[in-house]
Amino acid sequence: MAAIRPFRAIRPLPAVAPRVAAVPYDVVDTEEARALAAGNPLSFLHVSRAEIDLPDGTDPHGDLVYRTAAERYRELNRDAPLVQEKEPSLYLYHLDYQGHGQTGVVACYSLDEYDANLIRKHERTRKDKEDDRTRHIVELRAQTGPVFLAHRPNPRIDDIARRVRSAGEPLIDFTALDGIRHAIWRVDSANARACVDAFETVDTLYIADGHHRAASAARARDALRESDEARAFLAVAFPADQLQILPYNRVVRDLNGMTPTHFLGRVAQRFAMKSGCPEPFQKGEVSMYVAGQWYTVDLESGGTAGASVIDRLDGNLLQDGLLSPILGIRDVRTDARIDFVGGVKGTRTLEQLVDSGRMAVAFSMYPVSIVELMDVSDAGEIMPPKSTWFEPKLRDGLLIHEI
């Protein structure tokens, strides 16, 4: 069963919600965050990335940054203002982008179930990133950005969502500058009770995005043992059949000492390869851009596929058959020669990176399916780094859980 509970959300008033809402803290670097927040003192990036309000060169993990984040949070509560709900509630969070829509349930989810692997993971977390968000949660005594969860389709939950959305206007409803619509409904008490009951029939939840947030919430709970609120974490759970996963593409800075001709020859010796297009047509293929030309590479022809679900992922086939033996990239987590580009940026960005000389070769991946993600999680395996890019993304600062 999945135990969920309502909470007394801190939220912006509808009129200022578009100014407060901010992209997740971990999809932008300091300079990108500073640019997005420029001229907008209500942007939640002043809280989630407080180093943007400090001098250049400030250690983003220094004490001053976390003190500043807490100060900015107090100021935002006063100036936006933010308000707290009188009664604990559940919410629906609907995202709509370019004709794709998805609706999830916002609630407090159990950290005990997270510990027991009833909320399953598919990524390793890094201690330095956990340290950062744990400190942020403890300093603010608040979880300010939701974890993105998925569950297998459940007709009872779908029916509740339809009833709530059809019964009244959203509490918050705006379209951000990037074209994504964000709409939030408060769930009435009767439907909230039905929703809690419906989630008791959900055997397993899956972290789609937000592994570091979840891990940090668990560590913050251990640091704040006196707080019952800290025993749960803020999350939005979406039906898996509503989710959209874009590819997470790879770019490499050099050809490991080879000329393009030599490199292409090495690839052709190992894989079936032909002239191709910017996007692969199916799982098991990757589109490769080098020296102004796209090629389609049949990853499964490289002979490295094993029997397990993790062995058959395209990211691992590319790593084991090409990145490691040909380009000499042994560990994509630590090798500075490789970088990753979210599929939302499109394949034209890959071409520009190679054509400009900043990168030598680009790989346009076929997107991982949500079924593959759940199968990997169920098997207790770890996805290759940067395997999934969920789009559209949730916003920070719209619903806050104080602990």
pLDDT by residue (tens digit) across 141-179? 999 999 999 999 999 999 999 999 999 999 999 999 999
Residue 348 CB neighbours (<10 A): 9
Give the angle subtended at the CA of 273 by the CAs of 270 and 276, to the nearest 5°.
155
- Give the separation between CA 80 and CA 349, rounded to whole angstroms: 37
Model confidence at 303: pLDDT above 80: no
pLDDT mean over 250-260: 98
Residue 179 phi/psi, 5° resolution? 90, 0
- Give the separation between CA 330 and CA 253, rounded to whole angstroms: 15
Kindly list the distances between the CA atom of residue 146 and the CA atoms of 59, 106, 211, in Å, as whole numbers in the listed order.
25, 8, 11
pLDDT mean over 249-277: 97
Contacts of 245 (CB under 8 A, 6+ apart): 367, 368, 369, 370, 373, 388, 389, 390, 391
DSSP string across 234-302: EEEEEEGGG--EE-EEEEES--TT--HHHHHHHHHHHSEEEE--SS-SSTTEEEEEETTEEEEEEGGGG
pLDDT mean over 38-61: 96
Q: pLDDT digits over 343-392, tens only?
A: 889 999 999 999 999 999 999 999 999 999 999 999 999 998 889 999 99
pLDDT mean over 129-151: 97
pLDDT mean over 265-290: 97
Q: pLDDT digits over 200-209, tens only?
A: 999 999 999 9
Model confidence at 185: pLDDT above 70: yes
Q: What is the H or E stretch that residue 390 is in?
A: strand 389-390
pLDDT mean over 292-312: 87
Do residues 217 and 397 touch, judged by C-beta distance below 8 A? no
- Give the separation between CA 157 and CA 195, rounded to whole angstroms: 6
Q: pLDDT digits over 325-342, tens only?
A: 999 999 998 899 999 999
Contacts of 46 (CB under 8 A, 6+ apart): 37, 52, 53, 72, 76
- Chain centre distance of CA 336: 22
Q: pLDDT digits over 113-126, tens only?
A: 999 999 999 998 99
Q: What is the DSSP letter of 26?
A: G
- Give the separation between CA 108 and CA 90, rounded to whole angstroms: 9
Q: What pLDDT is attached to residue 306?
A: 66
The fraction of the chain above a pLDDT of 70, given in percent, is: 99
At 163, which amino acid appears? R
Q: What pLDDT is attached to residue 230?
A: 97
Q: What pLDDT is attached to residue 305?
A: 67
What residue ranges define each of the domains in the chain, with the CATH number in brackets? 4-244+391-402 (no CATH), 248-366 (3.30.1760)
- Give the separation between CA 312 and CA 292, rounded to whole angstroms: 29
Contacts of 71 (CB under 8 A, 6+ apart): none
Arithmetic mean of pLDDT over the chain: 96
Query: By C-alpha distance, which of 236, 208, 238, 214 is closest to 390?
Result: 208
Q: pLDDT digits over 65-82, tens only?
A: 999 999 999 999 999 999
- Give the separation between CA 4 and CA 199, rounded to whole angstroms: 7
The β-bridge relationship of strands 272-275 and 389-390 is unpaired
Q: What pLDDT is attached to residue 328?
A: 98
Read off the tokens for 88. Answer: 């604990």
Helix boundaries (H) for 96-154: 111-115, 127-140
